[in-house]
Amino acid sequence: MYLKDTIAAISTPIGEGGIGIVRISGGAAEEIAGNIFSGKQSGGMQSHRFYYGEIIDPESGDVLDEAMVVLMRSPRSYTREDVVEIQCHGGYLLVRKVLELVIRCGARCAEPGEFTRRAFLNGRIDLLQAEAVIEVIRGKTEAALALAQHQREGHLSKRISRIKEGLLTSLAFIEAYLDFPEDDIELPDCRQIETSIRESLARIEELLDGFSEGKVLREGVSVLIAGKPNVGKSSLLNTLLREKRAIVTSVPGTTRDIIEEVVNIKGLPVKLLDTAGIRDSEDEIEMEGMRLTLEKIPLADLILFVVDASRPFDYEDILIKEALCGHPFLLVLNKSDLPVEAVVPDDLGSAGTISISARSGEGIERLRDSIFSLFIRNGARDGRDFTALSQVRHRDALERARRHLESFLQSFPAETAIEFVALDLRDALHALGEVTGETTPDDILDQIFSRFCIGK
Amino acid sequence: MVVYEKQYDIIVVGAGHAGCEAALAGARMGRSTLLLSINLDAVALMSCNPSIGGLAKGHLVREIDALGGEMGKMIDATGIQFRTLNTRKGPAVRASRAQADKQLYRARMKRVLENQENLSLKQGEVTALCVVEGEVRGVDTRVGVRFLGKTVILTTGTFLRGLIHVGLTRYAGGRAGDLPAEGLSDSLRDLGFEVGRLKTGTPARLDGRTIDFSRLEAQYGDDPPIPFSFSTLKIERPQLPCHIVYTNERTHEIIRANLDRSPLYGGVIEGVGPRYCPSIEDKVVRFPEKERHQSFLEPEGADTIEIYPSGLSTSLPIDVQFALYRSIEGLESVEIMRPAYAIEYDYVDPIQIHSSLETKPVRNLYHAGQINGTSGYEEAAAQGLMAGINTALRVQGKEPLVLGRGEAYIGVLIDDLVTLGAREPYRMFTSRAEYRLLLREDNADLRLREKGHAVGLVREDEYEGFLEKRALIVAELERLRSERLAPSESDRVFLEEHGLADLRNAVSFEHLLRRPDFSYRDLEKLDSRCLSLPETVREQVEIQIKYQGYIDRQLQQIERSSKLESCRIPESFDYSALQGLTAEVREKLMRFRPDTLGQASRIQGVTPAAISILSVAIKAGRGK
Ligand SMILES: Cc1cc2nc3c(=O)[nH]c(=O)nc-3n(C[C@H](O)[C@H](O)[C@H](O)COP(=O)(O)OP(=O)(O)OC[C@H]3O[C@@H](n4cnc5c(N)ncnc54)[C@H](O)[C@@H]3O)c2cc1C
């Protein structure tokens, strides 16, 4: 709709272990890429050349992923605008993170079909193709409508509407004060407005926190079962898989030597990774298993570090412990039905320890609870009650609302130019309106007329 | 029917605030113009409060003036109390307001009309439109004359099937003391227009000799009074005070005891009234916790004893009116000269007009003012001016002048009318303008002078004055950017007074002005060259620098939506052939027939998804 700004989206359906492409189109595409990509030359990138480097968050300096980046300058691109494509290797979650970074750096989340539409509007594709575009957009639109409908009824919409109501009330006070100077309306206590805005801000932040929960619920998490041989990894896997109806799909390992299974834990899709597939008594292969396990650690969202409680904690355990440093993990003390021998180092205990018996099933329920609540913080337990902020766009809108409110609070109260400060409040409402529907001037006037006795 | 021998370029029906601006604009743009009205003694009459301006309305007047309209000059010449509102708030919501000498205002407008070249003024009530093949050809009057015109502008105000209520008594009238217009709204209905009913009201006029002013608080205007028009140098007329009175519990009891005799509460009135101009009975009913309501006693002129008590409009019966007004302190023995009343009238839902104000069903027919569901003199005048300009442009074979929402309140006004319709009388508020920070009174000339000059309404001498002012602003902005304050060479006392004691390096004047506590006045102390500039230039420079961040943000917002705004939807666009729209959206679009994608996006219920589909279809040349 707004051809002038720069848009971004994930442009490929992402397969397991495949490449994900974040595509950016618009005037700021090159600049954004320049800000987050380490691999460019000093003179900038040449058009239609691949560059290799790292994607770095310019704020924190964190390296997100390594990537191939190509710049296609206007008009020799799909949309006829400057286009940058970032090819990431790290799987879905990382690609999402890269997209979020691109949006933080100034791009807007593309509407469904927007790249194609731009391509068409800029004369890149012809009429025949355009017909197809309409179909595409229609399909997307209807899907979007269904989604919107769903959300309208859902929690998200209700929660945002409540936030909007609060903001609208504050705005109505300010607008009445501005528009009706002859009706002796005084601005209410500034602290009252401030408090109310702070409350709304807190609620927005809550929603933003919930965003990652929503995402996690939708896309699932990967959990790696790690531990030295013979600690009971595969029996743990089997126990977790035991309830047949919990199994969603069974994806064969992408490499012959890794097993992946998806289970449903309280509505949270969990992909379990186990090196159990290569369990063998031959030392060499055992070592190979260790190597694979260690390699997988950085890619998992959570590691279940399985230790055999009936044996002493040994150097192999310590090796794994070292590798876990800095990654989220749960310590699982297996074989709790046998006499306890293992003395776990102090610094391991803080991570959260659960004693189980994979064989008898004891403690498994607690383990499932722990996995779930690690990803889904405060909140209801049955998965249905989550505010699923299903799209980056919504997060984008909420982030903007948050920024506007913060900037409002910075300059409020401002006795002399309050209509300028009010712009931030209006813009915040506008941003929230992108999720739940616009606040019209009539909504503001309705509030004013119902609250104040207006009319000279 | 006698067909009058002359064919006019423009026929304006109604000499109210809309009609007068329309006729003047048409004639000044060189078009032969006829102004027809029911009563030539009542041109530009103020039916209600004797004042011009106020929040957002003052903005409209400044815009009318910048475009070359008459209203600003009128009030400057006939105003008896000028005030700038909201002086303690920021520049975007500062607004001018003035009390008018009502009879002087009317008389001066009549003289201006009479002295205008290309303009004839005739008394006559239009009873029907002459339309051939969907195109208007002229108008028929009650006495049996048909006047032919290439274009027609209807500005009939509150007169179409006007019905006056005083208590449960009612009679036909266009305004107290004026005949109603019968017939014309039937003619409009026959042509396929949707005609609706609205309501408004006005307080009694009081005999000033029977008011005890000695017990009332006086309110004076600003000294010196600041004119509305960019062309007025100074307000010459002597200024008068208003007085403040308050209702009390007894007033409210009288009202409550007699609600059953109100046509409003008795259900007699069907028209929808304005919520921002409630009658006193409305206020008492809706806000029972309020112990008193304020009213300004405004003089209707310097040469009359009639007093207008603002905020005390009512449609209660006359005996209740006596008791009601006399219950107020200072008005114990007041005499009513003209009773308060409510009036119902026909209007034509404005979703049936384009943003040029031309009607969609009938070509070359334009609607302006209260007939479009607005209320207020300024709203009417603004539309009248645009209708006058656009009929003249049509006759000249040129494209219409349509102002954007980011350009002028006039743009917001007309766009709101055509995209939202008017279910209650529409009045302008600053909160309606999403680009409010750009649409200020102080920069109305910078926004619109050029356009007014281009269509031929701004006189050369006025335009030159404007160019000069603009050049001074540009030069001063440039100078403030390059001139610097060097802390080492500056007066320590001055630096400390302005919190600049810690300043290490030289900073530009522009930078200084950005500081919230540093004003242009402070700069004047530092640099005497500032003083050589006119006050309006200094003010403009200060505002532009101080609020630049916000202003830039709004400019970007406009830029972002410009693509939608400039994308025109062909008039013949066939929505029924368009796939992918929901039935509801399709129905809306077919009913409103928006001119641009921007308009379409503001129609309630039209989703962003629908706009995407539309935009692609238009680009692809489909739907034709
Ligand atoms: C009782 C009352 C109370 C009001 N209260 C308020 C208020 O509180 N606040 C506010 O903002 N506004 C108020 N108004 C509205 C304000 O007066 C109008 O909005 C404004 O005057 C409209 O301007 P106009 O040019 O559209 O119409 P008007 O000023 O009404 O002028 C219409 C002109 O058209 C002429 N005319 C009408 N029909 C025909 C015809 N068929 N043939 C020839 N001539 C015709 C009439 O004689 C008249 O001269 C009130 C109006 C009335 C009558």
Query: Among B347, B348, B354, which residue's Cα sits nearest to residue B599?
Result: B354
**pLDDT tops 90 at residue B300:** yes
For residue B507, count CB atoms less than 10 angstroms from its CB and return exposed for 0-12, middle for 13-18, buried for 19 or more: middle
Q: B616 and A133 in contact (C-beta within 8 Å)?
A: yes
Radius of gyration (C-alpha) of chain B in whole angstroms: 26
Q: What is d(CA A22, CA A391) in angstroms, rounded to the nearest whole number? A: 15
Q: What is d(CA A31, CA A69) in angstroms, rounded to the nearest whole number? A: 13
Cα A273 to ligand 1 centre (Å): 79
- Which residues of A, range 146-205, sit inside 8 Å of B by Cβ? 175, 178-182, 184
Q: What is d(CA B502, CA B105) in angstroms, rounded to the nearest whole number? A: 57
Return all residues near A105 (Cβ < 8 A) that are at least 6 apart.
Answer: A32, A35, A36, A58
Interface membership of A142 toward B (CB under 8 Å): yes
**pLDDT tops 50 at residue A266:** yes
Radius of gyration (C-alpha) of chain A in whole angstroms: 27
Q: Which tokens belong to B157?
A: 């105000």
A63 or B150, which is more confident? B150
DSSP tag of A244: G
**Which of B56, B86, B283 has its CB closest to that of A453?**
B283
**Which of A130, A181, A454 has its CB closest to that of B616?**
A130
Going along chain B from its start, the domains and CATH numbers come out as 2-156+192-199+345-455 (3.50.50.60), 205-343 (2.40.30.260), 460-551 (1.10.10.1800), 567-619 (1.10.150.570)
The residue nearest atom 31 of ligand 1, judged by CA position, is B16
Instruction: Give the model's confidence band at A377: pLDDT under 50 very low, under 70 low, under 90 confident, else very high.
Output: low
**Residue A384 confidence (pLDDT):** 31
Binary contact (A442, B420; C-beta < 8 A): yes
Instruction: Express each pLDDT in A273-303 by its tens digit.
Output: 876 433 334 455 555 666 667 777 777 778 8
Q: What is d(CA B422, CA A207) in angstroms, rounded to the nearest whole number? A: 38
- Which residues of B, range 536-555, sit inside 8 Å of A by Cβ? 546-547, 550, 553-554
**Which of A121, A138, A416 has its CB closest to that of B90?**
A416
Please tell me the least confidently modeled range out of A332-341, B327-336, B533-542.
A332-341
User: Could you give the 3-state DSSP secondary structure of residue A97?
Assistant: helix
DSSP code per residue over A354-379: EE-BTTTTBTHHHHHHHHHHHHS-SS
Question: Does the Cβ of B48 fall within 6 Å of ligand 1?
Answer: yes
Most confident of A80-84, A141-145, B109-113: B109-113
**Residue B301 confidence (pLDDT):** 96
The average pLDDT across B500-510 equals 85
Q: A38 and A17 in contact (C-beta within 8 Å)?
A: no
A308 or A139, which is more confident? A308
- The dihedral built from the CA positions of residue A407, A408, A413 and A419, taken in this order, carries a sign that is positive
B457 or A234, which is more confident? B457
Cα B44 to ligand 1 centre (Å): 9
Please tell me the least confidently modeled range out of A411-420, B392-401, B553-562.
A411-420
Cβ-Cβ contacts under 8 Å between A and B: the total is: 148
Rounded percentage of chain A residues whose pLDDT exceeds 70: 69
Q: Which atom of ligand 1 is least distant from the CA of B45?
A: 29
Q: Kindly provide the ipTM of the predicted complex, given to two decimals.
A: 0.84
The average pLDDT across B366-374 equals 98
The average pLDDT across B312-333 equals 96
Instruction: Give the model's confidence band at A1: pLDDT under 50 very low, under 70 low, under 90 confident, else very high.
Output: very low
Going along chain A from its start, the domains and CATH numbers come out as 7-149 (3.30.1360.120), 154-213+391-451 (1.20.120.430), 220-375 (3.40.50.300)
**pLDDT tops 60 at residue A72:** yes
Which is it for strands B242-246 and B217-219: parallel, antiparallel or unpaired? antiparallel
H or E segment to which residue B135 belongs: strand B135-141
The average pLDDT across A152-166 equals 75
**Residue B34 confidence (pLDDT):** 98
Q: Which tokens belong to A198?
A: 């702070």
Instruction: Express each pLDDT in B248-257 by its tens digit.
Output: 999 999 999 9
**Residue A20 confidence (pLDDT):** 75
Q: B540 and B437 in contact (C-beta within 8 Å)?
A: no
For residue A316, count CB atoms less than 10 angstroms from its CB and return exposed for 0-12, middle for 13-18, buried for 19 or more: middle
User: Could you give the 3-state DSSP secondary structure of residue B284?
Assistant: helix
Interface membership of B616 toward A (CB under 8 Å): yes
**pLDDT tops 50 at residue A256:** no
B123 or B273, which is more confident? B123
Å between A176 CA and nearest CA of chain B: 9
Instruction: Express each pLDDT in B389-444 by its tens digit.
Output: 999 999 999 999 999 999 999 999 999 999 999 989 999 999 999 999 999 999 99
Instruction: Express each pLDDT in B209-225 by its tens digit.
Output: 999 999 999 999 999 99
